[in-house]
Structure 1
Amino acid sequence: MNYGPAPSPYTASALEDHRARTRRRRLLLGGTAFVAVLLGVAVWGLAGGGGTASGSRPPAAAQAPDAVRETVEEPPKSVEGKLAFTYTEEIREVGAVVTADGTWATARTFAKAYGNQITGIRLRAAGGKAAEAWKLKLPGRICAVTRHVSAAGRTPVVYSSTASGTDTSTASACDRLALVDLDTGRKLWEAELFGDTPPAQANVTMTDGVVAIASDQGSAGYDMTEGKRLWTGTAPSSCADEGFAGGTGLLALLRCGDSAAPAFRVQKVDPRTGRSRWTYRVARGVQGVHLVSASPAVIAVAAGDVLTTDLISLGDRGRAQGTIRIDRAHQQVDCDRPFSAVVESCTTVVVGERQLYLTTDDDVVAYDLTTGKSVFKFDSPSDSSSTVPLRMSGGRLIAYRAGGGFSPGAVVSLDPANRAETILLLFADSPDGELDGIDEPRNADIVYEHGRIFFGARTVHGPTTKGEVGETATVAVAIESVA
């Protein structure tokens, strides 16, 4: 089945709109091109012929295997997208609910958590087709995952050693931690958590070389290579670790005092020792806090409300810098997941080196982290759906734009340096509607990795009546370039 837009009015329209904006930008810049060239030559001369031109970036250095992956994407040979695969499961029990948190991809493999198992699908090689490569079955439910993956294609998973059925909505102890190789499906190491009193919920993340876990029974850090425990958190009884945010740094969220009127603290943590480097005390009256990014440090707070009201960036010493007030009539940050232990959950907010990116109405607006003020905007085409930021790719922003009407779905690369948009993939939903229900960022994982886009459900529901038993539910869909 071809998902890609063969020559048609909506494909031509999308590409022509992109070309028109490029032509306008060139005309605007053309008048100053000669001056820019002279300035560039002067700067090159002052630098002694070294360095890079303005707006260009040096090639990314190779990452260590246990560093958190930072993939820099390149445009594919063709922007025409096609269906790579659809992953479905059949649930026999009426009314069953299966949790499916966990959607990952490497250059070779897509992996999806579902209930108490993770399935690996080998991605298409030249002339081939995607096919199941491995299946890792765990004794009990998967309790906690992180979206972070190491440069070697590994990610931590917390799960229960207590056997469970298909319906994973029933709680059981979260007593095991494992590091999983996403290309092979092997557990490289596993560890027992918190001895005789394992938690019912947990939070897990990773930073360079370290896996960090937090729960109501305490917190701990593990060496990513060997699985050796590096430290345990024995916080005072007045404060408890809520969870961590990882990536290129490690940020901890603590809840202190009375549960009816808690006080929150955010700490920058040394990953190897667990010691705090600085502490930011969140203002009283805040009902909830989520960790948006560890480095740069950004938090989301619900001030006087149960939903997020503000995004706050924190400086190198833990002092508040810019504050972005959320207008819920026009912006959705989607940090709040009811009855979840996840604190690193603001998946529709992307933080770059100097700016934070957030969808406002249908466009992506960039905010300065130091001041909290909006600095520029990436406009969505007038006939398209909202553009949602997914992640950074070097200095550029990768974003997803849902299709609708005569507009195809799209993955685009947005460059803050010159406001340029580059189309990476164009695709339309199929007549059977495989994307229905799993392409909404509030309810699904959307991952763009190595030129492919993946949509993964976070929750899969069984049949509502006996007459529906035997029908399959879509767990994940992947789209790739035809080239």
Structure 2
Amino acid sequence: MTQPPPPPPPNEPPRQPGYGYPAQPPTPQPGYGHPQQPPAPQPGYGYPQQPPAPQPGYGYPAQPPAPQPGYGYPQQPPAPQPGYGYPAQHPAGANPYAQQPGPGHPGGPGAGPAGPGRNNAVLLIVTAAVVAIALIVGGGIWYARSSGGDGKKDDSANSAGGGTGGRTTGGGKSGKGTEKVPADPTSKVLFQVPMPTANDTTVTAGSWLTDRVYAKTGVAGISGYDPESGARLWTVPLPGPVCYATGHVSTDGRTAVVFQPKTPPKGSSTGCSQVAAIDLKAGKKLWTRSVKSGDVPVNFNNVTVAQHTVAVGGTSGGAAFDLATGAVRWQPKPADTCYDAGYGGGTRLVAIRRCGSGDSAQLHIQTIDPVSGKVVSEYRMASGIEYASVVSTDPLVVAADVNDSAGDGSGFSDVFSLDNATGKLRTRISTPGSSYAARCDGIYEVEKCKGVVVGNDRLYLATEEHDGSGAFAKTNEIVAFDLATGEQTGQRADAGNNYTITPLRMDGPNVIAYKNAPYNKGAQVVSIDGGSFKETRLLENPVSTAVKAVETSMSPQYAEVLYGQGRLYLSAVYAHAVGASTSGKEYLVTAFGAGG
């Protein structure tokens, strides 16, 4: 997996090469929007604004250097493997990661309520295996829990570019999505939003698309724009920079962010302790809340929306609020020996709950009732798996780097397909880093996964780049796995020579994907039929120096990519400090629309 990682938080030793890091660009520096304690906001998309300089080959002329196509080309591409992207499946019954029922565990002798209460931590040290840094955990709370409630009512919808997708109809069969095929997919630039100025490198993560507005986080606030013209419709000012944002939007157009309580002095932080609900339709902030442990505000590392609940998690535990009113549903309590590190949202709410520390630490994957916080079902991962990410909450799919076997710090070596109702393991899928190009944050934002989506009870996964046909040609594909059996379906969408394809989201039974292009072609958005896997072109960008520069700096590995209603939005997740060295003019947002 060749994507670059998120920039490390302040005071954290840099992660070592081997994670797919390019030698350039420089990692954004800590400061404005990056807390010193606890760990700084990390958008999980991890994007330096300046990508590596393109290398000759892979379909590029040696002179002049053209913008680098594709989705993180490796400097020394691995030789293609036999049956590339199709590793052998583990034999049935030989799953070393199947949960072992035990006393108090669902399905085990003496099964009862799953563990101590909804959230939150005592003071402890969590050793991060990938980054080798101690994260100090704050005080937490006891919250009595028992099984009950299925949290099934569907009152949430993903943003149009929302990432994971959920259960869809069609079962992998052909069907219609909502995205229309234009008569002419050739696009034009609809509008661009200039990059805002900042005193320090500042997080600008967060973008949403509804039927009436495209909204984007700025330096200290969120603005809504007309999706076609880019005219600014509204601005919601915030007292400090946004730390984290969820891609989920409720059916009534509401979402949530975590932000700093005030703009910090250069090189410092005021903590990521404030939670706010944003009404994207009305263009207003509904409420702001925080949680204290004694007299100290609790800092959060992620946020999500599920049904009418806002849930925030971190090393001090998790909390939840009513999306409409901000009323507290649960929060960290003292004496709890476990804590909710983060949540996955959408149609269901799933907690990644961590118990213990070091080699004895264990992750509990819990489907919980969004209102009460009660456990609906639970799966206990094998001890020693330090971090996990929620790829989808319905059906429930979790990714982890088991025994650090991915080898590239991507957090993605194995995928666990779980039953929401019972918590039982349906199947485990091996997804080695040498073959697949997915990447999950895991450590901080537990539902920030790229290069993978879920729908039709299938996992759609981008493969790593490998040799194409012809000298220096590179390509990759999207392949599908059955989440019931763990076997590949045989479906395969090829990117084509010197293109790199990345799944973005589901559209009904179809997969919406972005194709980064070689130097003499424009990037594309395609719809992949869920049954035939036939690709239909929805949009193709023009070929010009300015557009290629945007595509290169805002490819899926570096930026947020949303597509909906015939329009493509590429947006940056950092604003540079004033005077920072850049290769040219930069934009916070560039929007494209099809011509016909």
Equivalent positions of 1:212-231 (< 5 A) are: 212-231=311-330
TM, length-normalised to structure 1:
0.78
Structure 2 contact 307–348 (Cα < 8 Å) conserved:
yes
Looking at structure 2, the residues matched to 334 and 430 of structure 1 have their Cα atoms a distance apart, in angstroms, of 30
Q: Is the 8 A contact 1:434 1:474 kept in 2?
A: no
Task: Tell me how far 1:351 sits from its aligned partner.
Answer: 0.8
Q: What residue is the counterpart of 2:277 in the other structure? A: 179
1:66 Cα deviation (Å)?
5.0
Residue 201 of structure 1 pairs with residue 290 of structure 2? no
Q: Deviation of residue 393 (structure 1)?
A: 0.9
User: For each residue in 1:232-270, what CA deviation from the matched residue of structure 2 results, as whole angstroms up to 9, or x when unmatched?
Assistant: 354853211100000111110011112465221111111
Give the corresponding residue for 1:38. none
Q: Distance in 2 between matches of 1:260 and 1:283?
A: 10
Return 5+ residue gaps in structure 1 as ranges.
Answer: 1-63
Per the alignment, residue 586 of structure 2 pairs with 473
Whether 1:427 aligns to 2:527 is: no
User: Size of the alignment, in residue pairs?
Assistant: 408
Gaps of 5+ in 2: 1-152, 161-177, 465-475
- Contact 1:444–1:457 (8 Å) recurs in 2: yes
Of 452-461 and 217-226, more deviation after overlay is shown by 217-226
Paired residues of 1:65 and 1:152 also in contact (CA < 8 A)? no
Matched, 1:439 2:528: no
Question: 1:291 and 1:235 mapped to 2: Cα distance?
Answer: 26
Q: Is the 8 A contact 2:526 2:539 kept in 1?
A: yes
Matched position secondary structure for 2:311: strand
- Residue 436 (structure 2) pairs with residue 341 (structure 1): no
CA contact 2:159–2:208 (8 Å) conserved in 1 = no
When residues 92 and 158 of structure 1 are mapped into structure 2, their CA distance, relative to the original with a 3 A threshold, is closer
CA distance in 2, matches of 1:303, 1:381: 29
* 1:452 maps to amino acid: R
Greater mean deviation of Cα atoms: 68-77 or 355-364: 68-77
Residue pair 1:244, 1:250 contacting (<8 A) in 2 also: yes
Change in CA separation of 1:70 and 1:108 when aligned onto 2, cut-off 3 Å: closer
**Structure 2 CA distance, aligned partners of 1:181 and 1:408?**
35
CA distance in 1, matches of 2:207, 2:159: 16
Aligned to 2:565: 450
Structure with greater strand share of residues:
1
Instruction: Return the offset for 1:83.
Output: 0.7
1:354 aligns with 2:454: no
- In structure 2, the CA distance between the partners of 1:385 and 1:335, relative to structure 1 (3 Å rule), is same
Tell me the distance in 2 between the aligned counterparts of 1:102 and 1:257.
32
Letter in 1 for 2:434: A
- How far 1:349 moved relative to its partner? 1.1
Q: What does 1:5-404 align with in structure 2 at a 5 Å threshold?
A: 67-69=156-158, 72-91=178-197, 93=199, 96-124=200-228, 129-164=229-264, 170-194=268-292, 196-232=295-331, 234=333, 237-259=336-358, 261-305=360-404, 306=409, 307-316=411-420, 317-336=422-441, 341-361=444-464, 362-404=476-518
Listed one character per residue, the Cα deviations across residues 437-480 of structure 1 (whole Å, up to 9, x for unaligned) are 44332221111122211111222333566xx5997532221111
Equivalent position amino acid for 1:109 in 2: V
Q: 2: distance between equivalents of 1:404 and 1:358?
A: 21
In structure 1, what residue type is equivalent to 2:484?
T
> Contact 1:386–1:401 (CA<8 Å) still a contact in 2?
yes
Sequence identity, in percent?
Answer: 30
**Partners of 2:491 and 2:288 in 1: how far apart?**
45
- 1:281 deviates by 0.8
Letter in 2 for 1:113: T
Structure 1 CA distance, aligned partners of 2:198 and 2:329? 43
Select which of 523, 535, 547 maps to 1:409: 523
Between 100-109 and 375-384, report the one with greater CA deviation. Answer: 375-384
Give 1 or 2: higher helix fraction: 1
1:424 shift after superposition: 1.0
Between stretches 246-255 and 175-184, larger displacement belongs to 175-184
Q: Is the 8 A contact 1:66 1:225 kept in 2?
A: no
Residue 69 of structure 1: how far off its partner (Å) = 4.1
- TM-score by structure 2 length? 0.64
- How many Å separate the matches in 2 of 1:469 and 1:75? 37
Equivalent position amino acid for 1:78 in 2:
D
Compare 144-153 and 274-283 and name the one that shifted more: 144-153
Question: Could you give the per-residue CA deviations for residues 170-216 of structure 1, whole angstroms, max 9, x where no partner exists?
Answer: 43233322211224421123333337322233321011122112233
